[in-house]
Homo-oligomer: A and B are copies of this chain.
């Protein structure tokens, strides 16, 4: 596989999405409500999945962060925690500064969640890419709880398994299933190289119909 830095310099979510469309995978882009905390950040990494459920109580002696802690402490360099909250409901607040700091210490390259994030000033200062479903000051304790780790989840409308490749930039987040990752990247690098022609001819003032008929794509 091409190095991450190279992929990030050359590729982008739009070309990856187009390539997966062609290959018969049209549902690999997270819904548009999920946005980067910092629009200048991008990332590519390996998904580590966590499923969150609503929670309404914390029992005596119970550690409400148990599974969350286990997943974060087990992160490997290049991992991306992906926390599925079933959408941006106001109880689902899984991410903040402390998890950011701990994840960075393990070598994680980003966090993706359809839930809420807090401490955003500190996270932005750390330049850690976080793609989220909303911003709020809430703690997860007594509101939600990770109940599954590294199993298949749905986040922002996309099915994601641990080990899938996940890529994010200012246009959003795409998920590349493990089994097709090599082909997706090969095709995308190829397509990205060719796209410059279309753009250049359009800039030169050619009509869209001429360019479309010449290259057969837009």
Q: Which residues of B contact A135 (CB under 8 A)?
A: 32, 35, 170-172
Q: Output the least CB separation between A141 and chain B (Å).
A: 7
Looking at chain A's contact residues, the main secondary structure is mixed
User: Does any Cβ of B come within 8 Å of A108's Cβ?
Assistant: no
User: What residues make up the interface of A, taking CB atoms closer than 8 Å to B?
Assistant: 12-14, 16-18, 21, 26, 29, 31-33, 35, 51, 53-54, 56-57, 59, 63, 65, 69-70, 72-73, 84, 86, 88-90, 96-99, 101-102, 105, 116, 118-121, 134-139, 141-143, 147, 151-154, 157, 159, 169-172, 174, 198-199, 202-209, 211-212, 218
In the complex, A57 Cα to B207 Cα: how many Å?
26
Q: Output the least CB separation between A45 and chain B (Å).
A: 17
In the complex, A43 Cα to B85 Cα: how many Å?
30
Do residues A120 and B208 form an inter-chain contact, with CB atoms below 8 A? Answer: no
Q: Output the least CB separation between A193 and chain B (Å).
A: 16
Q: Which residues of B contact A16 (CB under 8 A)?
A: 137
In the complex, A157 Cα to B134 Cα: how many Å?
16
In the complex, A172 Cα to B136 Cα: how many Å?
5
Do residues A170 and B121 form an inter-chain contact, with CB atoms below 8 A? Answer: yes
Taking A57-B151, A153-B56, A154-B54 as contacts, is the C-beta distance between A137 and B172 under 8 angstroms? yes
Do residues A202 and B17 form an inter-chain contact, with CB atoms below 8 A? Answer: no
Q: Which residues of B contact A101 (CB under 8 A)?
A: 199, 202-203
Q: Output the least CB separation between A26 and chain B (Å).
A: 6
Picked from B35, B53, B57, B212, the residue with its CB within 8 Å of the CB of A152 is: B57
Do residues A31 and B90 form an inter-chain contact, with CB atoms below 8 A? Answer: yes
Q: Which residues of B contact A54 (CB under 8 A)?
A: 51, 53, 84, 86, 154
Q: Output the least CB separation between A89 and chain B (Å).
A: 8
Do residues B69 and A209 form an inter-chain contact, with CB atoms below 8 A? Answer: yes
Do residues A90 and B137 form an inter-chain contact, with CB atoms below 8 A? Answer: no
